[in-house]
Structure 1
Amino acid sequence: MFDIGNLATIAAAFFVAAPSPGPATIAVASQSMSAGRKAGLVFGSGLAVGLAVWGVVAAAGMGAILQASTGALTAMKLLGGAYLLWLAYGSARSAARPRAAPTDMAKKPRAFLRGLLLNLSNPKAVFAWMAVLSLGLGDGSGTGQVVLATGTCMVLGGLIYATYAVVFSTQGAMDGYARARRWIDGVVSGLFAVAGIGLIRSAFARQ
């Protein structure tokens, strides 16, 4: 029988870790301020699916295999770092424009895909999942316990991204973005660049 206390421990740990500032939360906030609630929610849905994929990988025990595979992990970190640098370049271009230019980033397929790729490009997510699940699951945990814990965290992840989208797409947030767009996009570009460089450096650190 599953211990509700263990589930609560896992959920609490995930709830503390997931909303913390990082590439995903920064991106969904930026997307929501610049393109509106619908685009933010679609983008957040892509993030949630990417997060869920890593959750399945961790729950299935494949995370340990990935962690032990130096070549695969290095390649994923390099690709993830490159994608973050590409996002930094896009934000920098936006900051450099004197006026906000029309964009197709709010289109549902593109917004969803961008969110999906952002979380899939961060292999560190699977290690975060492994750490969270290990807090409440032991060697004797059954499949049902693993599925319930992973599913709970997936739902929490989706709710967290949706909350970011709703909060940062309010009229006040969007008006603030319109007034300080160049500064905000510049800061976002810098944060993406730092995250991308850090991921690339961590890839070479494993050599």
Structure 2
Amino acid sequence: MLSLLSIALAFFVIAASPGPANIANATIAMSQGRKVSLIYGAGLSVGLIFWGIVAASGLGVVLQNSVYLLMVLKVFGGLYLIWLAFLSAKDAMHPTKTNLQINTAPKSYLNWFMKGVVLNISNPKSVIAWMAALSVGLGANDNTMALVSGVIVCVVVGFIVNGLYSVLFSFSGVMSWYQKANRWINGVVAGLFTLAGFGLIRSAFNRGAP
């Protein structure tokens, strides 16, 4: 249970941090309304599932073949989270206005859904985020069921995050607040990424820890 909670928290921080997909979803929520944004967000979530399957397949091979490969993967995942912390800290110290330009021409609901799917599938960096999050709660003794459970948890978290963006940013004035609070948001995200990154690296050298 604790391992799944760790995975959920790690994936939530990664998925909720400001990025192209979240900014696009927020913009659509404000310009096209909540319903269109929820459909677009569902597409984003489905796109994430694709990379989740890719990441889980790779982790499954690692878990079956080598404890040391898992250790290396955890170190790599920890360094990736620390790199994300650096980027967030940099944005916090030198905040810039978020680019909200996006093509909002009228489309069918299916087109909005597919646009979300394509956006996340076209970003192979997502597989790194998946592997980093899953590695937080997985240990060398975990089996395939534990890995599948971790993937399911991340899928649920992904849908929740995209849904939250759709709901919150469909209220008027939210983006204005978001722009003003950007420095603090990035600062908090940087701190969370740092803790998760060093925690993951530490767990790589603790054989008994997940």
| TM-score, with structure 1 as normaliser | 0.61
Counterpart in the other structure of 1:142 = 143
- The change in CA–CA distance for 1:91 and 1:172 in structure 2 (over 3 A counts) is closer
Determine if contact 1:63/1:126 at 8 Å carries over to the other structure: no
Q: Structure 2 matches for 1:1-207, cutoff 5 A?
A: 4-61=1-58, 91=101, 103-105=105-107, 107-173=108-174
Distance 1:6 1:62 in 2: 16
Give the Å deviation of 1:169: 1.0
Determine if contact 2:59/2:131 at 8 Å carries over to the other structure: no
Equivalences, count: 140
Give the Å deviation of 1:124: 0.4
User: Residue deviations 1:160-195, cap 9 Å, x none?
Assistant: 101100111124459x7xxxxxxx9xxxxxxxxxxx
Determine if contact 2:16/2:161 at 8 Å carries over to the other structure: yes
- Equivalent pairs: percent with the same residue? 46
- The change in CA–CA distance for 1:5 and 1:63 in structure 2 (over 3 A counts) is closer
CA RMSD of aligned residues (A): 2.6
Q: Counterpart of 2:127 in 1: which secondary structure?
A: helix
Give the Å deviation of 1:103: 2.6
Structure 2 residue identity aligned to 1:33: M
| TM-score, with structure 2 as normaliser | 0.61
Q: Which runs of 5+ in 1 are unaligned?
A: 66-89, 95-101, 177-183, 185-207
Distance 1:6 1:114 in 2: 33
User: Residue deviations 1:62-105, cap 9 Å, x none?
Assistant: 7999xxxxxxxxxxxxxxxxxxxxxxxx937x6xxxxxxx8313
Q: Which runs of 5+ in 2 are unaligned?
A: 63-99, 180-210
Counterpart in the other structure of 1:181 = none
- The change in CA–CA distance for 1:134 and 1:173 in structure 2 (over 3 A counts) is closer
Q: Counterpart of 1:61 in 2: which secondary structure?
A: helix
Structure 2 residue identity aligned to 1:5: L
Distance 2:118 2:149 in 1: 25
Give the Å deviation of 1:6: 1.1
